[in-house]
């Protein structure tokens, strides 16, 4: 699993590592042991491919964003932002950055699963160009076709 480091106007997206334990604990509202287990799971994912980034603003980890639950050429996007940093456009900016990688990663569609009452998450999905597809269990599913799409948001990739 190669997770490239990405720099946007305000953010640094980088691979998650064990030094992120305290930030993960706060972002996901879990105990330290659960945060460490989450990081271990990220680093040892057995899915065909998964990509998880830590989101940093002003040298502080404020969230995570990922492509996961990948099947063939369809990936699911997921994002979590520390509540202290909500409503500042960070999830949208990070989402725009990783969506630039879709064709490189071989995705033709990306889906976002949002709980119907999570208006902030739905707002991010819609700002990223996703459209409502269907209801499934407790989620509304939003989909974005990414083949032949051109995303530009001023990102720089580091090897």
pTM value?
0.86
pLDDT tens readout for residues 68-82 = 888 889 999 999 999
Residue 127 phi, psi dihedral angles, 5° rounding: -65, -30
Q: What is the pLDDT of residue 152?
A: 44
pLDDT tens readout for residues 128-156 = 999 999 888 888 898 989 865 444 444 45
**DSSP states along the chain:** ----EEE-SSEEEEE--GGGHHHHHHHHT--HHHHHHHHHHHHT--SS--EEEEEEETTEEEEEEEEEEEETTEEEEEEEE-GGGTTSSHHHHHHHHHHTTHHHHT-SEEEEEE-TT-HHHHHHHHHTT-EEEEEETTEEEEEEE-TT----S--EEE-
Lowest-pLDDT range of 47-56, 57-66, 73-82, 126-135: 47-56
C-alpha span between 79 and 159 (Å, rounded):
23
| 104: nearest Cα among 47, 69, 151 | 151
β-strands 109-114, 139-145 pairing: antiparallel
Q: What is the pLDDT of residue 94?
A: 97
- Given pLDDT bands bounded at 50, 70 and 90, which one contains residue 41? confident
Q: What is the pLDDT of residue 46?
A: 57
């Amino acid at each position: 699993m190669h997770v490239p480091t990405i720099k946007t106007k305000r953010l640094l997206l980088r691979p998650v590592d064990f030094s992120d334990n305290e930030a993960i604990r706060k972002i996901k509202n879990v105990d330290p042991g659960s945060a460490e287990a989450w990081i271990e799971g990220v680093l040892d994912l057995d899915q065909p491919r998964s990509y998880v980034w830590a989101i940093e603003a002003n040298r502080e980890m404020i969230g995570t964003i990922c492509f996961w639950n990948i099947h063939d050429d369809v990936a699911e996007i997921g994002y979590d932002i520390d509540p202290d940093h909500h409503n500042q456009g960070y999830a949208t900016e990070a989402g725009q950055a990783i969506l630039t990688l879709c064709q490189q990663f071989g995705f033709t569609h990306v889906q976002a699963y949002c709980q119907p009452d999570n208006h902030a998450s739905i707002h991010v999905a819609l700002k990223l160009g996703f459209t409502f597809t269907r209801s499934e269990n407790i989620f509304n599913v939003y989909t974005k076709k990414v083949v032949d799409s051109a995303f530009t948001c001023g990102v720089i990739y580091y090897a």
